[in-house]
Structure 1
Amino acid sequence: MNICFVISAIENEPVGTSVVLMKKAYERGHTVYVMGVGDFVFHHDAPMSLRCKKVKKNLDYTSVTEFWTQVQEDSSKPKVITSKDLDVLFLRNNPTEEADDRQWAEHSGIAFARMIQQEGVLVLNDAFAMSHAFIDKLYFEELPSVIKPDSIVTRNMDDLIKFWEEVGKKMVLKPLEGSGGQNVYLIGKDKKNLNQIFETLSSQGYVIAQEFLPEVSKGDVRVILMNGKVLEEDGEKAVIRRVNSDKDEFRSNLALGAKAEKTKYTKAMQRIVDITAPKLIKDGLFFVGLDIVEDKLIEINVLSPGGLDYCEAIGLPDFTTTVIKAIERKMEYKKLYHNTLENKVLATMD
């Protein structure tokens, strides 16, 4: 199959989940393209065009870092293909991590992907579902309250004070749009710097406050789902505990220095997955990350979930074979059903 990975920018992309998936697709003999989110070309009288870097055949590497370095350093002229040349478009850019001078990049990947999807290319995750879940913390609020901590979304300080009192005068504040643990604050009984923090966050948009879960001191667990089920390979599940060695740091993001550890998959986690999965499947969200503390889901990542690049280091499979095989099956179903299956149905078909 011909598969194209959309990332923020080729020259700046670190070795992460997108790259390990790309490498596996390449090793399974597929034609792999990679492009930045700024490399779509639209003309109203022609199929959508994509200015891509085609991963060369016969690369010589011994690690994922060497693989990606060779792709990045390839000086070949970008290849312009159209949607007619493509089987799968895998959206892997994270709009919430774009810099202020790249606001144009936040919505453009999903917007162009919707058009490509309508031209018959399999888009993962479903582009219309991604549009709906673009503010993933608000999408999170659509899930049943029984699996979530108490929360409020507002831009009003009085609302926050009232909520803070209701949850025992300890809450977590974060921007409604954002990721990677950036601009996340713990507000305790002294309300230290609350006014300043609120002004900073509300200047960026809506603010979400969640009740503080004391169990977060033990870290949180990233559970990676595919087709609404926990990603599994060789009898192991893609479940990663993230623990920060700094006892004063309540955030457990790997990007902020937390360490990945192997952990058990619990009944509480399974219950959260069971309750969350029907909506993910209905919406066409193929590849999703759930962040769980004990028996509560604290965040959902549908835009560009990561974690696969840490798996082998903690004694888990890399899980990429299972992911790419799942995409291969989707292409087989697409052919067998003569392109009659809706993208969102195919996206989560097992």
Structure 2
Amino acid sequence: MKICFVLNDIAVESCGTSLLLMKKAHERGHEVFVMSVGDYVFRSDTPLSVNCIKIPPKLDKKDPEEFLEAIQSDKLKHSLYPVTDFDVLFIRNNPTEEPAERYWAEQSGVAFGRMAQNLDVLVLNDAYAMSNAFIDKLYFEELPEEIKPKSLITRNREDLLNFWEEVGKKMVLKPLQGSGGQNVFLIDKTEKNINQIIDTIMEDGYVIAQEYLPKAKDGDVRVFLMNGRLLEQDGKLGLIRRKSGEGEFRSNFSVGGSAENSELTDAMKRIIRVTAPKLIRDGLFFVGLDVVGDKLIEINVLSPGGFEHFRDLKMPDFTDTVIDSIERKVEYKRLYEGLLSNRTLATMD
């Protein structure tokens, strides 16, 4: 198959989930292309095109870091391809990681993805589903109450202070649109700068307040779902516990969290079972759930990551499982010749 990966910016990509998936698809003999979110080209008289890099078939780099270095080198040149040349467009750019000066990039990947989808290219996750879930923390609030902590989304200071009182003066504040643990604060009864913290977060828009879950001291568990099911490969499950560092309540890898193995609990099984029908219906192929105890605290639908940490735990990185599934989708699409929608194909096992 011909598969094109859409990243925030090739030049600053790291050896994360996108790179590992790209490398695996290349190793399996597929034609792999890579582009930045600013590389779409549209002319009114021709189909949507992309200015991307084709990874040479003979690029033999066993180490992910070397593979990334080769992609980022000046030796590989961009070329213009009609998006209809591809079987799959895998949208992996994360809008919440874009700096303020690249505001134009935030919606571009999904918006052009819709155009590609309308040209009968298989787009993952489904571009219309990603549009609906673009603010994933708001999409999270559409899930059943029983699996979530108490929460409030507002830009009103008094509402936040009243919620703080309601949950026993211990809550987590974070921006509605954000990722990687940036501007996430634990507010307890000893906090003296609560008003300044609220002002800081409100500079970025709406604020989410969530009740603090005591089990958060043990970190959270990133649960990877594909086609509404827990990822599995070689008898191992796609779970990874993220532990916070010394003096830090956030467990995000980007702020120093460490990776540990995790067992699948009954509570996690329940969360997956309750969440999966909506993900399948909406066409969300590859999703990350963040779980604390028996509660889901966040859902990642735009660009879930963390595969690179499985290697440290002597676990498979699950890239074979993901690429297997994409290969099947391409086959189903060919066999059914337009009878299956992109949304259906996106979560078809």
1:77 Cα deviation from its structure 2 partner: 2.7
1:60 Cα deviation from its structure 2 partner: 2.6
Does structure 1 residue 290 correspond to structure 2 residue 289?
yes
3-state SS of 1:51 partner:
strand
Q: Residue type of the partner of 2:173?
A: L
> 2:101 maps to what in 1?
101
> 1:70 maps to what in 2?
70
| Alpha-carbon separation, structure 2, partners of 1:182 and 1:139 | 19
3-state SS of 1:103 partner:
helix
Does structure 1 residue 220 correspond to structure 2 residue 220?
yes
* Contact 2:52–2:78 under 8 Å retained in 1: yes
Does structure 1 residue 338 correspond to structure 2 residue 327?
no
3-state SS of 2:33 partner:
strand
Q: Residue type of the partner of 2:219?
A: G
Q: Which blocks of at least 5 consecutive residues in structure 2 are unaligned?
A: none
1:74 Cα deviation from its structure 2 partner: 4.3
Q: Residue type of the partner of 1:267?
A: D
> 1:318 maps to what in 2?
317
> 2:142 maps to what in 1?
142
| Alpha-carbon separation, structure 2, partners of 1:269 and 1:244 | 20
Deviations 1:56-81 (A, max 9, x none): 12113231111111111142331110
| Alpha-carbon separation, structure 2, partners of 1:286 and 1:74 | 33
* Structure-to-structure mapping, 1:28-177, within 5 angstroms: 28-177=28-177
Deviations 1:173-214 (A, max 9, x none): 000000000000111113421111111111211000000011
3-state SS of 2:18 partner:
helix
1:245 Cα deviation from its structure 2 partner: 2.9
> 2:278 maps to what in 1?
279
Stretch deviating more after TM superposition (68-77 or 88-97): 68-77
| Alpha-carbon separation, structure 2, partners of 1:330 and 1:58 | 26
Deviations 1:99-129 (A, max 9, x none): 0110000001100000000000000000001
> 1:185 maps to what in 2?
185
TM-score normalized with structure 1 length: 0.98
| Alpha-carbon separation, structure 2, partners of 1:83 and 1:108 | 15
1:251 Cα deviation from its structure 2 partner: 0.5
| Alpha-carbon separation, structure 2, partners of 1:84 and 1:249 | 47
3-state SS of 1:180 partner:
coil
Closer/same/farther in 2, CA of residues 26 and 74 from structure 1, 3 Å limit: farther
1:318 Cα deviation from its structure 2 partner: 1.0
* Contact 1:140–1:300 under 8 Å retained in 2: yes
* Contact 1:87–1:122 under 8 Å retained in 2: yes
Q: Which blocks of at least 5 consecutive residues in structure 1 are unaligned?
A: none
| Alpha-carbon separation, structure 1, partners of 2:312 and 2:67 | 18
> 1:8 maps to what in 2?
8
Q: Residue type of the partner of 1:316?
A: M
Closer/same/farther in 2, CA of residues 144 and 349 from structure 1, 3 Å limit: same
Deviations 1:118-142 (A, max 9, x none): 0000000000010111100000000
Q: Residue type of the partner of 2:199?
A: E
3-state SS of 2:4 partner:
strand
Alignment RMSD, CA only? 0.8
> 1:200 maps to what in 2?
200
Stretch deviating more after TM superposition (52-61 or 24-33): 52-61
Q: Residue type of the partner of 2:52?
A: C
* Contact 1:262–1:316 under 8 Å retained in 2: no
3-state SS of 1:26 partner:
helix
1:43 Cα deviation from its structure 2 partner: 1.2
* Contact 1:262–1:315 under 8 Å retained in 2: no
* Contact 2:92–2:303 under 8 Å retained in 1: yes
| Alpha-carbon separation, structure 2, partners of 1:308 and 1:27 | 17
